[in-house]
Structure 1
Amino acid sequence: MQTPLISIIVPCYKQAHFLNEALQSVINQTYSSWECIIVNDGSPDDTEEVAVRWLEKDERFVYVHKKNGGLSSARNAGIKKSRGVYILPLDADDLLAATYLEKQVAVLERNTSLGIVTSYSNFFYKEKNNIIYQLKPIGDNVISLLFVNQLVATSLYRKECWTAVSGYDETMKKGFEDWDFWISITKLGWTYSITREFLFYYRKAQQSMLANTIEHHSDEVKRYIFTKHKELYIQNFDNCMEVLFFEMEVQRKGHNKFKNSLEYKIGKLILKPYRWVSQFFSSPKKEL
């Protein structure tokens, strides 16, 4: 029986110090029919030197160098070079369990209506065994993805899905590009499946693109996604309103809790003289 070729796409930008671990998790796969395309997204570190060493180790590794264009651009560049039937994005600082490909390919091979298969994920800090959080996604269709991204970026999918939606949105350089990608695929009718095993390891960094997006750009990027796929949110108007007002209530409670905190009250007292002086000097002066 012929085994389908899997194309693993590894974009790398300022992550050369983690790249060896990620590629080692690829070469450890029990499923052998794969190619791994390392995409140097104009990285200023030694990404190329690390990649070349892996090319010398195994002919299944491929190297692509491009001008920096962001994560979506790097993934698209790698996929354009790919020969596989299935695509697996893998960030340069994350890891695969050894049986990831073997188990996930079997799911897609058994069910042609599936576009994507994901798994449970372990979030770790510094060391793989230092698990700080476990993600167990739910759902199987676009409705489950509208308000929360259930699928980690490292989920296996059919290359024809990528073609159907014209790839990752390269204008999205502030994060959540994978969420948008999954919505684009599933709104065409594809469903996804969840393997209830921990097959993926996500490295939790102190500073990461995801953390930066959540902290600084979440509302902006959500607005872009909601507007881009507005027909879905209009169709699910009642749910959209429930989520919107729930988030507003959470923010209100958080604001009130902060205003009632001892730290806020002390800070208000400390700043009171400063505000009085500021108002005095900024107020209009009477003519003498």
Structure 2
Amino acid sequence: MNRKPGLVSVVIPFYNHGRFLMEAIDSILAQTYRDFEVIVVDDGSDDPQSLAVLEAIRIPQVSIHRKSNGHLASARNYGIQRSRGELILTLDADDRFHSTFLEKAVPILENNPDVGVVTCHVIRFGSKTGLDGHIWRPKGGTVSDFLIENNCCGNALFRYRCWEDAGGYDEELRGFEDWDFWIGVTEHGWRIHAIPEVLFDYRDTPGSLLKTAKRHRPDLMKKIVENHLETYRSRVADVIFRMELGRDAVITEQASRIAMRSLPCRIGNALLAPVKWARRRPWS
């Protein structure tokens, strides 16, 4: 199929997220960049409310595709296979993009032929654990930046060519599918660019796929390494170096926390408290 230049195909995997779907779709319909199509992939939903939401959608730019349940990676591949755009934007059905994301992201791909993916900073909302407003700042980068940590949001804009180069999403993975995909993309020389601005809202829900994946991290990481074994073998020194940098950062943070709890530090904070209070007071 010939891909339409400039067209962004927004692929939204959907499984029983009827409460949130229209928020996700509306965040795309509100984009200031207007050349897009929206492909909702119903991955075997069985919730009557969610099915009713799908049936009620009558929006010219939005198409609904149904398939048997196969998990997130399968739904994304299914939607991308049925897309028409040269550019692909993935969006989970319970999350939202800010209205200027595409306006800012598309020109980066148009003007930088080595950039295959554009991500941004992410803010958390909907949390029941007091984490609302927490900001994640992925750095993007090349393949070396993805071997021990994920530096790109799973919902990002990328070239259809990147999806072809990576061989699509690994449908055997049940978690960290996006991380595995970004490694596959950057292995082919593509660079991932991170816009240093919060342009994406991540909904923190109790049963989120990310939380489930974190509980199975060792098994998932083993599969990711096996998927990219030659890449990891050829960069063993780089992997160890980055792991040690991360270890040093953790040790430094732990030492800082211990120091803050020490008696001298507590005494010092108590003595300085009146000064800090006076500085904050709006004296007339």
What TM-score, normalized to structure 1? 0.79
* Partner residue, 1:25: 27
The one-letter code matched in structure 1 to 2:9 is S
Q: Are 1:170 and 2:171 an aligned pair?
A: yes
DSSP-derived class of the 2:19 partner: helix
| 1:29-84 deviation digits (Å, cap 9, x = unpaired) | 11111000000000111333323333x1x211011000000100000111111001
1:191 is matched with 191
Contact 1:52-1:63 within 8 A present in 2 as well: no
| SS of 2:133 mapped into structure 1 | strand
- Report deviation, 1:27: 1.0
CA distance in 1, matches of 2:134, 2:225: 28
Mapping 1:138-157, distance limit 5 Å: 138-157=139-158
Q: Structure 2 residue aligned with 1:47, among 26, 32, 50?
A: 50
Give percent identity, aligned residues only: 37
1:5 maps to 7
User: What SS is found at the alignment partner of 1:63?
Assistant: strand
What is the Cα-based RMSD across aligned positions, in Å? 2.3
The letter of the residue matching 1:197 is: E
Structure-to-structure mapping, 1:207-246, within 5 angstroms: 207-215=207-215, 217-242=216-241
State the secondary structure of the residue aligned to 1:121: strand
Per the TM alignment, residue 238 of structure 1 is displaced from its structure 2 partner at its CA by 2.2
The 5 Å alignment of 1:81-100 reads 81-100=82-101
Q: Residue type of the partner of 2:198? A: F
Residue-by-residue CA offset, 1:129-167 (whole Å, 9 max, x unaligned): x83310111241110011000111111000111112221
Superposed CA offset, 1:157-202 (max 9, x none)? 00111112221111112x0000000000100101111111111111
Distance 2:33 2:54 in 1: 21
- After superposition, the Cα gap between the structure-2 partners of 1:125 and 1:7, relative to the gap in structure 1 and judged at 3 Å, is same
State the distance in 2 between where 1:245 and 1:118 align. 26
Aligned to 2:60: 59
Q: Which residue of 2 aligns with 1:68?
A: 69
Task: Give the Cα–Cα distance (whole angstroms) in 1 for the partners of residues 189 and 163 of structure 2.
Answer: 14
Q: How does 1:129-144 map to 2 (within 5 A)?
A: 131-144=132-145
CA contact (8 A) 1:116 1:193 kept: yes
Structure 1 pair 245/31, CA: closer, same or farther in 2 (3 Å)? closer
Any gaps of 5 or more consecutive residues in structure 1?
A: 255-288
Q: Return the alpha-carbon distance in structure 1 between the equivalents of residues 110 and 240 of structure 2.
A: 38
Partner of residue 35 from structure 1, selected from 31, 34, 37: 37
Alignment-derived partner of residue 206 in structure 1: 206
Change (3 A) 1:43 1:113: same
Q: Is the 8 A contact 2:165 2:184 kept in 1?
A: no
Distance 1:52 1:102, change over 3 A: farther
One-letter amino acid of the structure 1 residue matched with residue 39 of structure 2:
I
Q: CA offset at residue 244 of structure 1?
A: 6.1
For residue 159 of structure 1, what is the aligned residue in structure 2? 160
Q: Following superposition of structure 1 onto structure 2, how do residues 102-121 of structure 1 map, counting pairs within 5 Å?
A: 102-121=103-122
The TM-score, its normalising length taken from structure 2, stands at 0.80
SS of structure 2 residue aligned to 1:132: coil
Per the alignment, in what secondary structure is the counterpart of residue 226 of structure 1? Answer: helix
Report how many aligned residue pairs link the two structures. Answer: 245
State how far apart, in whole Å, the 1-side matches of 2:140 and 2:74 are. 28
8 A contact 1:9–1:36 mirrored in 2:
yes
Residue 276 of structure 1 aligns with which residue?
none
Larger Rg: 1
Check conservation: 2:88, 2:160, Cα contact below 8 A. Answer: yes
